[in-house]
Amino acid sequence: MKRSLFALMAVLTVLSMVLAACAPAATQAPASAATQPPAATAVTNPTATIAPPKSADAVKIAFWHSMAGDIGGKAIPTMANEFNASQDKCYVEPIYQGSYDDSLNKLKAGLQSKDTPAVVQLYDIGTRLMVDLKVITPVQDFIDKEGYDLSDLEPNVLAYYTVDGKINSMPFNTSTPMLYYNKDLFKAAGLDPEKPPRTFVEFEEAARALTTKEGDKTTVYGGAFAIYGWFFEQFLAVSGGYYVNNNNGRDGYATEATFNSPEGVAIFDWWKRMVDEGILANYGRKTVDTRNAFIAGQTAMFIDSTAVLRGVMDSVAGKFEVGTAYLPRPNEAAYETAGTIIGGGSLWIINNRPQEEQDCAWEFIKFQASPAQQSYWQTMSGYFPIRKAAYDEQLTKDWVAKYPQFQTAIDQLHIAPNNRVTQGGLIGVFPTARQTIETAIEELLAGKGTSQEILDKAAEAVTQSLSEYYVSMGIQP
């Protein structure tokens, strides 16, 4: 076996052990949303059936995905059927693989047995790893070969998946976090429901005004943040801070975690101050618990992915008016220089498949990126369209009219500058790093050290993980 394959298997084995250690029991919800897409609403339509191929000569390809609920049971099969019906040369079969981590682990096993898909959906934070493993054909190769026009695709979204000047995977399910708030509670507290907080100070002041008590018991918390590493990354980005060195690992391999910067410390101080005062609730790591507290009227503000908007609106069901706003930042000036980072997943073409399968994989990926498909995808999933022309589709116009709160998500994406801060950190150990940050937040809220001390320890641990990663991969950063 070649040395590169030994390295590949070694790092995937280590990664599998880390992911397994972080995984919850089978009967529980995921401990962190880091490895699982936002939950869709309950399935209201039986799983769609994949129609047989139009031609017996069609090249058959497998598409591994991690979308559950209506998204995986209805939207993805529908999109696959439409692709298959649009031509007779290629036939795609979507196969649900469980969480993102499940897909990554199954891909590892498949690389050993040569049982791999032509297309696989993986999370954004797997980008550096997938590039380093050298098991993919960058979509840039196909883009360059046919002169595929990128001008209508969202530049901030493409930038995340661009490494060393190449677009390595095609964005698929894309989201950012935003602030959700209860307009009725704003009115009751004497706050203007049309002027949600834009800065950290304004959020803190609003949370204080919105918190209500009966005796010693808090009946409504002003706000709530789930203990989720992605949220810390986003607060760091809108603060203009870098997660790792070398400009977020975008101008060279990252060798050191830098989130223990003044920007990171300020976020931790702000978070803990509000929890200590009793105006910010802590419902733990499960984002769904914080979301449910908001739906039940137990907290007036929370942050979550733009992809959960429809679920929130459907669950609130008119009990109160839901407002949405940009993710708060340290000050107004930050809106000009920083912004949120996209999250979600993308589609990768696996290079050990025959060329004809890779060619069909590209055809399928292009089809999914078309305006009509992106419009349908958005309305079914709540994720952003990656193509601007999708907003001109009547389906999207009708959906935004039904859920006007989603305009906030669109605007927030478009106001963000495209720079190394908003492109996000690029490291091969992101799942581990995210868990490290979540542990750090728990230690912070438990009073086990100062913000600086706890972040320094977390940064040291992530830096060490990076060093071990490069050794296992045979990379000289």
CATH number at residue 388: 3.40.190.10
Give the CA angle between residues 138, 140, 141 to the nearest 5°.
80
pLDDT of 63 strictly over 50: yes
Residue ranges making up the domain that contains 82 = 3-175+343-415
Same-domain status, 265 and 391: no
pLDDT at 32 over 60: no
With bands split at pLDDT 50, 70 and 90, how would you rate the model's confidence at 30? very low
Position 47 confidence tier, pLDDT thresholds 50, 70, 90:
low
Q: Is 36 inside any structural domain?
A: yes
pLDDT of 71-103, one tens digit each? Answer: 989 999 999 999 999 999 999 999 999 999 999
Which string of b and e fits 175-200 if b means at least 16 CB within 10 Å? bbbbbbbbbbbbeebebebeebbbbb
Q: How many helices (H) and strands (E) does the chain have?
A: 21, 14
Q: Is the pLDDT of residue 20 over 80?
A: no
- Identify whether residues 357 and 324 lie together within a single domain: no
Task: Read off the pLDDT of each residue in 108-134 and give the average, rounded to a whole number.
Answer: 94
What pLDDT, on a 0 to 100 scale, did the predictor assign at position 392? 96
CA gap 326, 339 in Å, rounded: 10
pLDDT for the residue 299? 98
Q: Which residue has the higher pLDDT, 49 or 79?
A: 79
Q: What is the pLDDT of residue 270?
A: 98
Residue 164 and residue 296 share a domain: no
Whether residue 370 sits in one domain with residue 332: no
Per-residue pLDDT reduced to its tens digit, 147-188: 999 999 999 999 999 999 999 999 999 999 999 999 999 999
Other beta carbons less than 10 A from residue 58's beta carbon: 17
Predicted pLDDT of residue 125:
95
Are residues 289 and 204 both part of a single domain? yes
Q: Computed from CA positions of residues 97, 101, 105, 107, in that sequence, does the dihedral angle turn out positive or negative?
A: positive
Q: Are 178 and 409 in contact (CB under 8 A)?
A: yes
Do 319 and 460 fall within a single domain?
Answer: yes
- Could you tell me the CA-to-CA distances from 407 to 191, 209, 321, 414, 419 in Å, in that order? 22, 27, 16, 11, 23
111 dihedral zone (left: phi>0; alpha: psi -120 to 50; beta): alpha
Task: Clarify whether residues 95 and 143 are in a common domain.
Answer: yes
Residue 421 lies in a domain: no
Q: Sorting pLDDT into bands at 50, 70 and 90, what band is 53?
A: confident
Is residue 170 located within the same domain as residue 74?
Answer: yes
Lowest mean pLDDT among 268-277, 278-287, 377-386: 377-386
Is the per-residue pLDDT at 38 higher than 70? Answer: no
Cβ distance 328 to 411 under 8 Å?
Answer: no
Burial class (CB in 10 A: 0-12, 13-18, 19+), 17: exposed
Residue where a domain terminates, one of 415, 443, 465: 415
Q: Which of 371, 389, 415 is the last residue of a domain?
A: 415
Kindly state whether residues 451 and 305 are assigned to the same domain: yes
Q: Is residue 422 part of a domain?
A: no
Q: What is the pLDDT of residue 114?
A: 84
Which pTM was predicted? 0.91
Q: What percent of the chain has pLDDT over 70?
A: 90
Mean pLDDT of the chain: 91
Query: How many distinct structural domains can be found in the chain?
Result: 2
